[in-house]
Amino acid sequence: MRLYVATHNRHKLREISQILPEFDVIADDSEGIEETASDFIGNAFIKVRAIAAKHPGSWCMADDSGLEVKALGGAPGVRSARYAGEPSSTPRNNALLLRNLEGVEDRAANFTCAVALVDPNGVEHSAVGKCFGRIATAPSGAEGFGYDPLFVPDGYGKSFAELSADEKNAISHRGRALAEVRRILMV
């Protein structure tokens, strides 16, 4: 079954394909869509509605996700991709996050993934997944993307970027949201 995904983020797309191997995941590049909502699910619906009209009769999906750091009042949050400004830059985002947490002891954080779906009849569905952990004091690992080298999930002594794709997907915010999406798609 085809699943159109509104994203220009190839790392996200790869994870979605890995987590949902039974579906034919096709990217519809969402670059240029303005993410103006104040929460993840609102932005996910902005993105999926922007592509749904192009694919009548098919499932469409969007993932809006990000990192929320307790000591920073939930930042970078919905601004995760552009935390250090435009154009979006992972090295600058990660450096800014470490700078903003210098000397901070409580480094608790979570990733959130909000998924919005439009089914072949135009009915909307949603799912949310979270993964809790903390922000390391220095980056480690080369897997994954984005903030992965700085995020250490609870119960692990390693960052997301030190885990294999399968290990990350088994516990990640995206893995959890997409487990619910699989149930929605299978009905």
Query: Do 30 and 51 contact (CB within 8 A), yes or no?
Result: yes
- Exactly one of 63, 64, 119, 166 is catalytic; name it: 64
Q: Which residue is nearest to ligand ITT (CB)?
A: 146
Summarize as ranges the residues that interact with ligand ITT (CB under 6 A). Answer: 7-9, 12, 30, 35, 63-67, 80-81, 111, 144-148, 172, 174
d(CA 85, CA 80): 10
| Measured torsion, CA atoms of residues 88, 90, 93, 98, in degrees rounded to the nearest 10 | 180
Distance in Å, CB of 147 to ligand ITT, minimum = 4
Is 154 among the residues known to form the active site?
no
Using an 8 Å Cβ cutoff, are 115 and 128 in contact?
yes
Which one, 23 or 111, has the nearer CB to ligand ITT? Answer: 111
Residue nearer to ligand ITT on the CB measure, 35 or 167 = 35
Joined together, the tokens standing for residue 21 give: 């191997």
Give least dist CB 40 to ligand ITT, A. 7
DSSP 123: -
80 phi and psi angles, rounded to 5 deg: -55, -45
Task: Give whichever of 42 and 58 is closer to ligand ITT, judged by the CB atom.
Answer: 42
Please, which residues have CB within 8 angstroms of residue 173's CB and are 6 or more apart in sequence?
65, 110, 111, 112, 113, 129, 130, 131
- Our CB check for ligand ITT shows the closer of 171 and 186 to be 171
Closest to 112 measured CA to CA, from 38, 176, 35: 176
Least distance CB 154 / ligand ITT (angstroms) = 15
CB of 58 to ligand ITT, least distance (A): 18
The residues that are catalytic are 64
